[in-house]
Every structure is written in C-alpha cells, then in structure tokens.
Structure 1
C-alpha cells in the first residue's frame, strides 16, 4: 500500500518538474521523493519559557521520522505567550492566535501535500490550534506536547507563574517587600516548559492525550526530562504506523473521546478555557459539542485532583506518581471512561494503559472517588437574565455555591485594575468587567491580572467576578466568564449599573441581576454600541468573523450550525 498518497502529487507527476527541482534543491534526493512526507510543525520561539525549547524537540522528532524511512520537513508557526501578555493590550491577540495557528498549519500541510503531520507545541493556544488543523486536514497526525516546567522556589515558598500575579496584589497592600517581590519574579520560572499547575496548557495537554491524539505520558512528562526526549524520537514510529493503518484524526475524535476529555478535565480541576477549546476542536472534527454536554459531564463527575491553582500540587508532582496515564487507568477502573476508543498508537485507550498502575492510597495528588475534593464538577454552566445563552463558572467548592451582592462595574480590564489599586472594590462586591468579550476585546482576553490582584489583596474569597471575557487556567476564586451574549453585542451585561444586586447560584446554575424586565428594557433602548476598539488588521478580521463563546469562539461557524442537532455517538473504531 502506498503511504505517500498526498505528496506523490508533487513528487511523482512528470508534469510538475519545477516542484521536484525545488524539492531536490532543498536537499532531498530522488529516492526521498518516493518516500512519504511528514510535516513537522513547531510553535517554538525564544521569548517564552513555554516555547523556547520546542524547536530542539522538533529536531528530535525529525530525527525519529528519518529513522523510519520517512522525509521530515520542518516548518514553524506562531505562539503567543499568555503569561507575558496577560494584563496588557497584547492579551487580545492570545485567543486570536489559536485561529492563526490552525489556519497556518492547515495552509502549509494542505498546500504542500504532506502525507502526515506532527505538531510540537507548548503554550495554551498552540495545542487547540494544532488540533483544529489536524481535524480539518484529516490525514495521519499526532501532537507532541513540549512538557511542563519545573516548579520554582524562593525562601522555602513553592512558586509558579501565578505566584507573580498574586505577589503583585500583596505588594500593593504592603504585605511583602520590594526585595521579596523581585525575588519571587526571579525564581518563579526556572527553565523551559509550560506553566506548571493545572492551568490551560496542562489541562489541554491532558485532554488531548485522553482524546487519543498524543502518545501516553506526553501530557505529564516534564519539558527537561529524558522521557520527553525519548517521546520525540519515538514519534516517527507512531507516524509510520498511522500511515500504514490510514488512521486519521476524525477516526479518533469521536463523540465518546470528547466525553472522556471532559471527564478528565473535570477530575483534574482543569481550566475553563477547555470549554472554548474542546468545542472548537470538536467543530473542526465534525462533532457537535455544547455547553449542555459539559454540564452533563459535570453533574456526574467529581473533582479528585489536588492540583494548583486551587490545590496543592503541580503537574511535575503528578508526573512523579505515574502521570496522566495513571489517572486514566484509575478512572477506567472506576468506569468513568470509554476504553475501547482508538488512539495514535494504533491501540485503544485501554490497551495503552494495560501495563500502567492506577493511583493508590500511598499518594494524595488524586483522591479516591469516595473522598472527592468536590462531589460534582467545578466547571458549571450558568443561565439567567444576565446570561441568556450561558456563562461558564469555575466553582471548586472552596468559594461556596452562592454569592449575592451589589455590582461594581468596569468597562475594561484597565479600569478594574485601577479600581483595585485605588481601593474601590470592597468585600461583598460583585465585580463586573465588560466589553472584553470575543468582539468587545476584541479577542476575549483573560482576566488573570485582576483576579490574582484581588487574591493578593485579600479579597479573593470576599468578592465575585463576572465578565464576558475569560479566565486563565491559573485563576481561582468565585469567577464567572464567557457571559453570552457579550456586552459589545448588547447583551444584558451591558445594562448592569453600579449598585444593582446580582445573585449567583451555582447550585441552581443561575446568574441573575435583580432588576425588573421593564427597567432593563428602558436601559436597552438607551444603550449604544461602543465604537469598535480596532480599525484594521487581524483584530478587526477577528471581530467581524468570531462566533460567541458558547460556540467556541471559532471563525468558520456556518450559519446553520446553531440549529444543527447534536452529533450522535459513533461506533468505536477498534
């Protein structure tokens, strides 16, 4: 069976001599032109710990591909650092970059007819972007995660990237010295790798390993480990097998696989950004995934992992105890996962885990199901007169399940940060940050800086925060994001005024402002859409094409997609 079904268009067609001449001129031999071509995409760049090492890992992947008799062809796409851009106007580009990454990988692999694809990725939007491209192209492919960073330490305090944001709030309140503030910054990120807690990068890596599009241990092997190097070298063998089996992403990304990924995201206490990204990946794979699907999983799935930001441990601690495969084996034994689903190894999820030991009572990173951190999921979908099309709450149980208080309203992230500095926010407030949604931002920036500053200021458990923006996986506290419709589209969040009583009830999954419909209608008639925040470039393109958060902030939403029925479960491909 021919394995070069796509590249042969260029390499074996006598009417395309220029294509063959350019390939030979790039260093390939005529023998190479008869081999399958593997596109190896890296999101590596030097200015970010999450991505600084990815080009070197991609070189290892290329070596492993060569050893399998395949032709590996390296190319790069962008990566935007969430940690660096958070709290600045640059953060508007972060979610936009997911679409750029997906589009550019699709364009490169599609234009150059690569027979298979390996994506070496690190930061938050790199992973879903690469997955969307793989699903669109639907030819043999897998993802290599760059791995998690080591934890930092300063004066006996365990550190990670969120420690820096919280230290800023402590500094504002005079709780730490300038020397200690700088000491935390210097020691929080001791080397390469993605942010170390169960933040968005590690959440998505674990979800994607569960989906079956990366090899076992990829999501939990640390960036600087020998295991990560070995994984990269082994990628060629897996790609060769995928080509032989003609096993493609859409064969793997079936509905039950997404259910597995939602379960693991819940059990690990993962980022609310997984809602946006899994919906977007599912859309690219032709699977309909909704907020209601997440809620159904949350209703039946406990939070078991004691991982940061709400818990105690980092991903490197889980790695030392068996990593994500040990979690999957434990959940499989509990009957919480489908085991008979295909993966990029050519085996089923259960077969991959056959020799993996489950997590037992000798550790406390993952609690037993009988003693959960929270009996149901932490990611809750809220609806009401403030969120007719839904909002996403991160409720770990430590904050309680209800919160009510007067609104204090800010029309930008900069406004709320100034409010925190000026001491305007008091215990009992419901902080509203609006016009920071997919269109209003544009780009739906994360509100990590204000939430971390509120925690640092001692208000983390005394206020709630509502926004049409989103939150970092590092956020914790009583927070509700993804409010739909967003304020820029005239959603009810645009009509809230200072002092309005807001009631959040995560037990009843409601989000309400206690204002009469008549008064809201009066305010709506007086409301005017703000002047568009951008006038050109990629942010304007995004503003004009992006869907709402409840549909994953995708930019290729068909007009009839909203009314399509859910995707039925498919037969397992074993």
Structure 2
C-alpha cells in the first residue's frame, strides 16, 4: 500500500505520532487509508448536504476494512457567480480543485479516494485529479435537486433567470418575481434540469467512475445515502482488485460518455470537460469526434432546458443505465469495458429497464436521429464551436443576421435590457474566452434575457466564452480561436452579416479575404482584463476551448 511507505516501520514513527495525536489507533493506521474528498460548503445548494454524503461514504469504507480520512475541496456556485466578475473564476477553479486533490493525496500517501463533488467544475476537477493520480478512486456525487412547483407547473433555476427578462419588460410584478425565486430551488442538490452539474454527474456514471444511478438518484433521499455507503465499499474493492482510473478512463469509455451526452443533449460545457479529463488520462479528444458520434446517435431524452422533464423524471424512468441499454440496442455503447464496480458496462446495465417511454424514447422512435449537441466550423470558428441544437427553435436553425458586437458580457446585457437588440440580430460577445475573459465566463444572463424578452426565436448569440447548461436558444459558444488569440471574432464590426447553418454545421461571417486582411492590419489587441493574482497566471497558461481549456 502507498501509505505503508509513510506510516510503517521505524521511519514512519514520526508520521504515526501525528495520527496518534489526533486519536487514530494503530489498528486504523495499519488499514488502507482512504481520503474522503468532501466539497461541502454553505454557499452552494448542491453542496450544503455533502457532509451527510461524506459520513455515509466513511461508513462504507470502514465496513469494508479501510480507514476513512476526510479533507476538503473548494467549490464555486455558478448561479451565484453568474453575471458579474465572479464568473471569471468557476472554470479556472477546475484546475485549482484538480491540483489541490493531487497535492493532498500525494503528500499524505492515501491508498485510495472517495471523491464527493456535485456541481459544475468540481466534478471534472476531481475526475482530472483521479486520472492524474491513478490510485483507486470512486466518485459519489451529491445528487440532483427536485424540480420546483409554481402555479401547478414544474420550474427550475433557469425559470427564475428567464423571468428577470420578463420582469424587465414589465410583464410580471416584483412580488411575482420574488414568489418564483422562492419556489425555483426547493431544496438541496444540483439544479434540477440537465444543466452542467447533472450532465457531468451522469457522464461520471457512464465513464465507469461512479456507481449506477450516481447521476440521477435524488440528493435528499435514502437511495443517495446508500449509494455513498456503497461507494466507500467499492473503493476498497478497487484496491483489492487493483482497479485504477486509467483502467477505466479509456478512449472507448470517453466515446460512451460522448454518445450518452448526445443522446440526452447534455450541457455544452461537457465539450470542455470531457477533453480536459481525457487530457489527464493521456487521451486526445478532438471536436471532430463529438460531431462524428452526434451524427449516429439518436436523441432520446428531452430534459430542461430542452424540454419539460427534470432529473427526477429521468431517474424514475430508469436513469442512465436504461438510457445506455437502449443505445446498446444499436451497438452504440461499448459494453465490455471495466468500471469501478468491478463489473463491465454491459453487466452494470444488464437489468436496466425503461419505465416511462415519454421520458426516454426508443432508438426506433427518437426525438431526432442525431444528437443534441452540434459542432460548427467556418471562417468565424476555424477550430470549432458548440451549440445545444436540441434547445434551438426550428426557426433559428438557419439564420442570417446583422452583427451587434460587444467586448464584454455586461455591455451585451445592458443593450438587451435597453431594447437595443432587434429581431434578426446576431449578438456577438467577445474577449470572454479562456484567455480573454479570463476564465471563459458562463453567460446565462444574456441568453436568459433574450429568452425572457421573447426574442429567443429571433436573435442568435455568439461568443468565445461559454453558456450555462441551463441555456436555450441559438446560443453558440466556445468559438475558437478566441478573440484574445487572434480569432476572426475579434475583427467583426457592427453590421457585418453572419450566417448560421446548424444543420450543415457552418458558422460564417460574410467578409472578403481582402477586408479581413485590412482589419487585421489595423487591429490593436486590447490589454489583459486582469493583470495580477491567480486569473492573470491562469490566462498565461490556458489553452483554447477546443482543447478543453487545459493548462500548459
């Protein structure tokens, strides 16, 4: 065991003395030492209950013969950071989380880890650390929130964001806005739609790094507590069987994850996080692979923001195992891959059943024959960009409009609320990429403002930043190269005609090469927005969105 080198024998006496000082017994020290990485805090709804999950995981480790030792991980709430300078930090925090888990695990010689995240960047950050460390690891997330209820209808966090735009139009009162805000998030858990957190929790399960139903079992449930106990037991089994993350995180496992992502139309942020996790596993995931898999994967679920269903509906309908089993009928799932359960993918999903065909469609009668996300290229995105095609109104799948250009998210939101955006416009928000932001802010505020003001079927938004998993409409993000790296998006001017052709995967600005060259000659690159602290260092090291915004 790794911990033996630190705690056993005469050389280990000083380290043992420190554990004795905390009350550990020799019997505990002699067992495998399992780090319980707990992202609990009191600022994220998805994390407020993680202490209960950690306690359950500890019991599982102890029942299976290990010694659980808890340490923390940071977490930022995207919903609270949204729409201001704080949003520069969530994506950048992914690297801090991975680095801190690495530092704690290696400095203290843990034999294995139970990783307990729940929200957007915490999940991929912990998975990146698992791949980097390659010691036995099991992920058990905090689980999804239930949908809210208002006037007899299901609502969620995206509802209240969009209602801000409705309020700005004078269509609802202060009291109604406040009433909706009290109902949208009824309890703990990751926000109830298929936004980034729940997308990544589901894909953790698909990758084989979490137990079945990790993505969908409700946060505040006995089922979630049992899942955590089993996770603690399973990490001990992984030590016994020598199952490590790099045995699980293979190229085929990532292909499975992309397939399920397309079938359920997950958050566009998965196109950032899967390549970043793969990078730590020594695997390159190119955007072409996402598009290739999308073309052959049927779209089987329509969860918020694309549809009316929520995570609880998916869970009751059979969860991710049932979705995977349905996809396996067409040979779209690699079933012989090992997982942290000690079983193969095929064995994990063998007994799964679809219990509600209204929530999970059959491969014979899907919502659509191709996946829910689309990768676009063209002169405006030579290295690619991404859109949640399933959440785009039919009227906007093909769109040609005049550019309205903004150099920050704030400027764009102000223009939207001031009525300066007209039907047919293409809103361009630039210098918000990984380097330019820095931190590639998630822009739910402008997309929700557009939707709340009733323009989501008339106006497109383009950015080198990114969009929330709660976004709907013709919102095209991750444009690469970004403006700060010399991408053509940095040269667009008001009035330029932009053509969007999502079915044919094209994004073009109608400019001649001579005009582009002329603009390049006179273009002056702006000063960095942040010049000190962590974000300044991050901006110097981060790569483009098409590579997962990893650090080099």
Same-fold call, TM > 0.5? yes
Residue equivalent to 1:267: 263
> 1:14-71 CA deviation, whole Å, 9 max, x = no partner?
1232211111112211122211000000111011211111122111111211121201
CA displacement at 1:106 relative to structure 2: 0.8
Unaligned runs of 5+ in 1: 558-574
Aligned-pair CA distance for 1:498: 0.4
Q: Are residue 171 (structure 1) and residue 136 (structure 2) matched?
A: no
Select 1:398's aligned residue among 379, 393, 408: 393
Is residue 372 of structure 1 aligned with residue 366 of structure 2?
Answer: yes
Q: How far did residue 370 of structure 1 move?
A: 2.6
Indicate yes or no: 2:317 matched with 1:350: no
What is the aligned partner in structure 1 of residue 507 from structure 2? 511
Q: 1:553: how far off?
A: 0.5
Residue 437 of structure 2 corresponds to 441
Match of 1:17 among 13, 25, 31: 13
Match of 1:73 in 2: 69
| Paired position in structure 2 for 1:565 | none
Q: Distance in 2 between matches of 1:51 and 1:133?
A: 19
Shift of 1:333: 2.8
User: Residue 121 of structure 1 contacts residue 145 of structure 1 at CA under 8 Å; is this kept in 2?
Assistant: yes
Alignment of 1:309-324 (within 5 A): 309-324=305-320
- Which of these residues, 82, 107, 132, is aligned with residue 86 of structure 1? 82
Deviations 1:313-367 (A, max 9, x none): 000111122221221222223322011111111000111122222x16x530112
**Higher deviation after alignment, 81-90 or 387-396:** 387-396
1:235 and 1:318 mapped to 2: Cα distance?
Answer: 22
Matches within 5 A, 1:281-296: 281-296=277-292
* CA displacement at 1:262 relative to structure 2: 0.3
**TM-score with structure 2 length normalisation?**
0.98
Deviations 1:386-409 (A, max 9, x none): 111111122126334311110000
Secondary structure in 2 aligned to 1:219?
Answer: coil
Contact kept, 8 Å, 2:327 with 2:363, in 1: the verdict is no
**Is 1:151 paired with 2:143?**
no
- Please give the alpha-carbon distance, in whole angstroms, between the structure 2 residues aligned to 1:158 and 1:528: 49
CA distance in 2 between partners of 1:11 and 1:32 (Å): 11
Q: Confirm whether residue 386 of structure 1 aligns to residue 380 of structure 2.
A: yes
The CA deviation at 1:369 is 2.0
Q: Secondary structure at the match of 2:405?
A: strand
**Alignment partner for residue 43 of structure 1, among 39, 43, 50?**
39
- Give the distance between the partners of 2:357 and 2:247, measured in 1 at CA: 36
Q: Deviations over 1:217-274 (max 9, x none)?
A: 1111000011001111122221111011100000001111101000101111111100
Tell whether the 8 Å contact from 2:428 to 2:461 is kept in structure 1 after alignment. yes
What SS class does the counterpart of residue 453 from structure 1 fall into? Answer: helix
Query: In 1, distance between residues paired with 2:96 and 2:228?
Result: 25
- Contact 1:151/1:190 (CA < 8 Å) preserved in 2? yes
Q: Which runs of 4+ in 1 moved over 6 A?
A: none
SS in 1 for 2:424: coil
Contact 1:44-1:76 at 8 Å conserved across structures: yes
- CA positional deviation for 1:499: 0.4
Residue 480 (str. 1) matches residue 468 (str. 2): no
Secondary structure of the 1:466 match is strand
- Per-residue deviation at 1:194? 0.1
Query: Any idea what the Cα deviations from partners look like across 1:520-558, whole Å, max 9, x if unmatched?
Result: 111111111111111211111110110110110111x3x
Aligned-pair distance for 1:425?
0.4
Take 1:251 and 1:49, find their aligned partners in 2: how far apart are those partners? 33
- Tell me the matched-pair count: 550
Give the equivalent residue in structure 1 for 2:206.
Answer: 210
Cα distance between partner residues in 1 of 2:221 and 2:329: 28
Separation (CA, whole Å) in 2 of partners of 1:181 and 1:236: 43
Q: What's the CA shift string for 1:64-120, capped at 9, x where partnerless?
A: 111212010000010000111111110110101111111100110011110001111
SS at match of 1:477: coil
CA distance in 2, matches of 1:13, 1:302: 58
Distance in 1, matches of 2:7 and 2:27, equals 10
Partner of 2:3: 7
**Pairwise CA distance, 1:9:** 1.0
* SS of corresponding position for 2:467: coil
Q: Conserved in 2, the CA contact under 8 Å of 1:489 and 1:529?
A: no
Is 1:340 aligned to residue 311 of structure 2? no
Q: Are 1:57 and 2:53 matched, yes or no? A: yes
- Residue pair 1:395, 1:479 contacting (<8 A) in 2 also: no
> Residue 141 in 1 paired to residue 99 in 2?
no
Distance in 2 of aligned mates of 1:144 and 1:477: 32
Mapped partners of 1:32, 1:172: distance in 2: 60
C-alpha distance in 2 between matches for 1:13 and 1:423: 73
Check the 8 A contact 1:306/1:367 in 2, yes or no: no
Q: Which residue of 2 aligns with 1:567?
A: none
Q: Greater CA deviation, 195-204 or 9-18?
A: 9-18
Q: Tell whether the 8 Å contact from 2:464 to 2:478 is kept in structure 1 after alignment.
A: yes
Report the 3-state secondary structure (helix = DSSP H, G, I; strand = E; otherwise coil) of the residue aligned with 2:26: coil
Verify the 8 A CA contact 1:342 1:348 in the aligned structure 2: yes
1:545 aligns with 2:534: no
Query: Please, which runs of 5 or more residues in structure 2 have no aligned partner?
Result: none
Calculate the TM-score normalised by the size of structure 1: 0.94
Root mean square deviation of aligned Cα: 1.1
8 Å Cα contact 2:115/2:140 also seen in 1: yes
